Amino acid sequence: MAASNTTTSNAVVTMDVFRYEPDASELPRMQRYTVPFREDWVVLDALNHIKDEIDGTLSFRWSCRMGVCGSCGMMVNGEPRLTCNSFLRDYYPNPIRVEPLSYFPVIRDLIINLDHFLDKLEEVKAWLIPAEDRELSEGEYRQSPAQLAQYKQFSMCINCMLCYAACPAYGHHSEFIGPAALALAQRYNMDSRDGASDERADVIFSEEGIWDCTFVGECARVCPKNVDPASAIQQAKVEATKDFFKSVLVPWGKRQQPAESR
């Protein structure tokens, strides 16, 4: 074990944690815990310490502890963060306030209901729909490095929903498809193997699609994987505008396939 792990100091961190136990009370409350301060502990370690050593009733989601699974997203001092990625030392000696992700319904304590987000992923068909069906014997769908570069950035999304908790447009209107689902839709629209951008267009080009976005840009700032959902939405706005003017100028023509890079 690293020396820093066997800290001899008695330094502690104060954690103010959002509690909501619908079986006990209809009202949420904040509960204060005092946990040991360790140089190499992240907020998630502190929460696990509370659960293991202080209060077993505290509920929260987590899995990988290394910024890959996207399940430990919470508000840390009002900022959407992966708690496995937020070191105590960056807040110490100030108290740390931990709350569930903003704008989502809370099931219990720090656990949010993400059904709505999953519905949106389904609405925009955030998966690969091949342009042409191929037999296994015909081999793989080949793609050049340039074609890969078209969408690679957006494919880094881990569905942690921090961008939703940061988005004022989503906070105002929860029907808004939102940053991550739109970035993932754009990821498949830009994929040279995909042929379903027209199927996605009705949802993406609607009011609740890209047009609820006011380009605040917070989604890109809080993303732990450096995805830029704001730019995905801007790209889609350009495609939607081309599609609109094409439908006005050439009303008899077939509606455009949004991703012209294919």
Binding region for other proteins (CB under 8 A): 168, 172, 201-203, 205-209, 211, 214-216, 237, 240-241, 243-245, 247
Nearest to 219 by CA among 231, 204, 235, 230: 230
CB of 257 to other proteins, least distance (A): 14
CB of 231 to other proteins, least distance (A): 14
Question: Which residue number, 100 or 209, has a Cβ lying nearer to other proteins?
Answer: 209
Question: Which residue number, 155 or 206, has a Cβ lying nearer to other proteins?
Answer: 206
Question: Which residue number, 90 or 122, has a Cβ lying nearer to other proteins?
Answer: 122
Question: Which residue number, 86 or 256, has a Cβ lying nearer to other proteins?
Answer: 256
The C-alpha atoms of residue 165 and residue 222 are separated, in whole angstroms, by: 9
Residue the block writes with tokens 């840009």: 217
Question: Please, what sign has the CA dihedral across residues 112, 115, 117, 118?
Answer: positive
CB of 19 to other proteins, least distance (A): 29
SS3 state at 130 = strand
Q: What is the dihedral of CA 73, 79, 85, 88, to 10 degrees?
A: -120
Written as six digits, the tokens of 18 are: 């959002």
The C-alpha atoms of residue 101 and residue 110 are separated, in whole angstroms, by: 8
Rg over CA atoms, the chain: 22
CB of 256 to other proteins, least distance (A): 11
Question: Which residue number, 45 or 243, has a Cβ lying nearer to other proteins?
Answer: 243
Q: What is the dihedral of CA 171, 172, 177, 180, to 10 degrees?
A: -30
CB of 185 to other proteins, least distance (A): 13
Question: Which residue number, 162 or 203, has a Cβ lying nearer to other proteins?
Answer: 203
Residue the block writes with tokens 């009011």: 207
CB of 168 to other proteins, least distance (A): 6
Nearest to 209 by CA among 104, 123, 114, 116: 123
